[in-house]
């Protein structure tokens, strides 16, 4: 439901644009009334505060959400197969208080991937992360651990699909994606994926070399929030 306009380092001018965006979008689709103002602001920011472009993006999102998640919630039963692979884990929070997700692409196999099921899984994953974001924050941190990744895991179509869902329907939600244990082969696949990523999203992917891995992770997370597998004290829990 639409919320009051408050919080989040926004000035009066930005909230006026949010109101303008709401009026423009609602005139074309009454379902926009169900979208809260913070979400509208994220769409506005994703389009550089250009109200017309933000409205087009928002309307596409509302129509997509109605079709992709007709009941408003992506049920775990619909992604049970993907969840069984344990490709994503929930960890603690970073120093800014944003929730942390760990992703393990080496557990994904292109030969057995069903694209429709994979897309549902991505929506389930992003919804779960967004639900964990505390008041006062709007983004999450992702650690993508590519250890063990090889030819059998390479799935450019799936990567492009996931990124398109992220940047089109979850704007301003990803704070940063730390890419770690990156094999040389993956960089070849990444070159194919890159043209499909908008500049704003592309800047959020940070490739970390092994020499600076510990320093980078500890800069992002306190010891009590750093996952145990990286030398910290936080146990990780598979996404369910």
Residue with tokens 């979400």: 39
Q: What is the CATH number of the domain that holds 130?
A: 3.40.525.10
pLDDT tens for each residue of 86-142: 999 999 999 999 999 999 999 999 999 999 999 999 999 999 999 999 999 999 999
Could you tell me the two tokens for 230? 């990286």
Percent of the chain with pLDDT over 70: 96
The C-alpha R_g of the chain, in whole angstroms, comes to 18
Same domain (yes/no): 53, 165: no
Same domain (yes/no): 92, 211: yes
Model's pTM, two decimal places?
0.93
Same domain (yes/no): 87, 139: yes
Residue 90 belongs to domain spanning = 76-230
Neighbouring residues of 187: CB distance < 8 A, sequence distance ≥ 6: none
Would the pLDDT of 1 be above 90? no
Adjacent-strand bridge partners of 234 = 227
| Res. 5 pLDDT band, cuts 50 70 90 | very low
Q: How many structural domains compose the chain?
A: 2
E strands in the chain:
88-93, 99-103, 140-145, 174-180, 205-207, 237-238
Neighbours of 233 (CB within 10 A): 12
């Amino acid at each position: 439901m639409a919320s009051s306009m408050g919080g989040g380092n926004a000035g009066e001018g930005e909230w006026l644009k949010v109101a303008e965006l709401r009026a423009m979008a609602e005139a074309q689709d009454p379902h926009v009334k169900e979208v809260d103002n913070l979400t509208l602001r994220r769409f506005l920011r994703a389009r550089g505060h250009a109200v017309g472009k933000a409205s087009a993006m928002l309307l596409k999102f509302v129509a997509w959400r109605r079709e992709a998640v007709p009941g408003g919630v992506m049920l775990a039963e619909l992604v049970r197969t993907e969840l069984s692979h344990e490709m994503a884990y929930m960890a603690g929070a970073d120093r800014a208080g944003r929730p942390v997700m760990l992703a393990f692409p080496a557990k994904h196999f292109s030969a057995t991937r069903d694209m429709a099921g994979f897309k549902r899984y991505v929506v389930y994953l992003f919804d779960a992360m967004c639900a964990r974001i505390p008041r006062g924050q709007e983004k999450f941190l992702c650690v993508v651990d590519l250890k063990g990744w090889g030819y059998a895991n390479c799935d450019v179509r799936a990567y492009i699909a996931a990124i398109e869902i992220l940047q089109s329907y979850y704007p301003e939600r990803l704070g940063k994606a730390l890419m770690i244990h990156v094999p040389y082969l993956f960089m070849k696949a990444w070159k194919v994926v890159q043209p499909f990523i908008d500049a704003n999203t592309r800047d959020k992917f940070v490739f970390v070399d092994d020499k600076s891995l510990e320093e980078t992770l500890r800069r992002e997370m306190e010891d009590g929030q750093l996952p145990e597998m990286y030398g910290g004290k936080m146990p990780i829990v598979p996404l369910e």
